[in-house]
Amino acid sequence: MKRTIFFLLMGLLILDSYGQKAINVAEATREMSRGLQPAMVVNIPEARLADVEKAWVRYQQKGTRSRVQKDKQEMRISGAAIEGVQGGNLTLYSLLYADKEEVLLFAFLDIDSVFFLPERDADMARSLQTYLRGFAVQSYQEVASGQLRQEEKKLQALEKQLESLRSEEKKNDRLARENEREVRNIEDDIREKTADEERKARDIELQKDKVDALKEFPEEKALEEKALKALKKEKKKIQSQREGLYRKKDKLEAGIKRADRDARIAREKQKLQDREILRQQESVKRAKDKLEGIR
């Protein structure tokens, strides 16, 4: 018996190429409510005890009107529906234990108040083994399905982040190009304002000559000085507008640099994200292979 349990435990440590652990059913003896009794034990890899317990109750009650009774750790169901196991009053006792990264299920079959020994009926032993293994496979598949969903969720999140980075790149590229067009328009306005300012400067010099020419005519000189003052005011306004355009241009050009930088950063992040997505796609594939390999 110790030899059998030793090989069972060794088998539980073996991983196949997809990463899933082996499911094994073996004979054992275990202390239960009615003393030390023969049992069959099966492991459910990577499962949580609470999840297995709920699933085991549902599994036992399927196909029968009987209901599982629980006393502390031990479960009991009378009239258990196990294909290939017939004769007398059948009561299935069971114990569940969390053991590192798996759950161990010990099943004790009582037939007419006598606990079943596998060596007495090989066919019935195989039927009980199939029943227990079927539950373990189903439970492990549920675990693997949950893992697959998690990996797919991670992949979806990464793909969503990639789309966000692509949008960020496009937004910054668009902003930079819009700013460049605006800068070109401002440069046209600056040239126009510079030309206006130069014309005003020439007009001011001509007006100064008029003022100087009317030194002997105070009334006329006063009118021309007034006109000169207006020209200087207009020139100052144009100069102020041109300086404002330069400030706006500087601000837009700084914005272009920021947008180009942010677009480059987004592109570099996309490369990293692409690699992360490839790795996650491999994780999803491994999870799918693992689920498909659980039989």
Instruction: Classify residue 92: in a domain, yes or no.
Output: yes
Q: Which residues contact 77 (CB under 8 A, 6 or more apart)?
A: 60, 61, 64, 66, 67, 68, 69, 91, 92
Question: How far apart, in whole angstroms, are the C-alpha atoms of residue 181 and residue 175?
Answer: 10
Per-residue pLDDT of 186-239, as tens digits, reads 999 999 999 999 999 999 999 999 999 998 888 998 999 999 999 999 999 999
Q: Which two tokens stand for residue 221?
A: 């000189």
Q: Are 40 and 26 in contact (CB under 8 A)?
A: yes
CA 83, 6, 12: angle at the middle one, nearest 5?
65
Question: Residue 196 maps to which CATH number?
Answer: 1.10.287
For residues 114 and 236, state if they share a domain: no
- Work out the average pLDDT over 92-114: 94
Strand pairing partners for 41?
26, 106
For residues 101 and 214, state if they share a domain: no
Sign of CA dihedral 83, 87, 89, 90: negative
pLDDT at 120: 85
Instruction: Classify residue 142: in a domain, yes or no.
Output: no
Where does the pLDDT of residue 16 fall: very low under 50, low under 70, confident under 90, or very high at 90 and above?
A: very low
**Lowest pLDDT segment from 82-86, 242-246, 276-280:** 82-86
Instruction: Give the other-Cβ count within 10 Å of 238's Cβ.
Output: 20
The total domain count for the chain is: 2
For residues 160 and 287, state if they share a domain: yes
For residues 64 and 170, state if they share a domain: no
More confident residue, 22 or 88: 22
Instruction: Classify residue 143: in a domain, yes or no.
Output: no
Residue 240 main-chain phi, psi, to 5 deg: -65, -40
% of the chain at pLDDT higher than 70? 93
Question: How far apart, in whole angstroms, are the C-alpha atoms of residue 196 and residue 44?
Answer: 87
Question: How far apart, in whole angstroms, are the C-alpha atoms of residue 247 and residue 233?
Answer: 21
Backbone region of residue 225 per phi and psi (left: phi > 0; alpha: psi in -120 to 50; beta: other values): alpha
More confident residue, 229 or 64: 229
Residue 6's domain comprises 2-120
4 pLDDT above the threshold of 80? no
Instruction: Classify residue 258: in a domain, yes or no.
Output: yes
Where does the pLDDT of residue 17 fall: very low under 50, low under 70, confident under 90, or very high at 90 and above?
A: very low
**Packing angle of the helix pair 122-213, 49-61 (nearest 10 deg):** 130
Per-residue pLDDT of 121-157, as tens digits, reads 898 999 999 999 999 999 999 999 999 999 999 999 9
Q: Which residues contact 286 (CB under 8 A, 6 or more apart)?
A: 18, 19
| Three-state SS at 280 | helix
pLDDT at 6: 35
Instruction: Classify residue 23: in a domain, yes or no.
Output: yes
Q: Which two tokens stand for residue 16?
A: 């196949």
- Work out the average pLDDT over 81-105: 89
HSE, CB side, 13 Å, CA atoms: give it for residue 190. Answer: 14
More confident residue, 113 or 256: 256
Q: Are 96 and 56 in contact (CB under 8 A)?
A: yes
Q: At which of 97, 120, 143 does a domain end?
A: 120
More confident residue, 235 or 86: 235
Instruction: Classify residue 138: in a domain, yes or no.
Output: no
More confident residue, 138 or 64: 138
Question: How far apart, in whole angstroms, are the C-alpha atoms of residue 280 and residue 179?
Answer: 38
- 79 closest CA partner among 62, 95, 96, 104: 62
Q: Are 267 and 169 in contact (CB under 8 A)?
A: yes
pLDDT at 38: 96
97 pLDDT above the threshold of 70? yes
For residues 107 and 226, state if they share a domain: no
Question: Residue 86 maps to which CATH number?
Answer: 3.40.1000
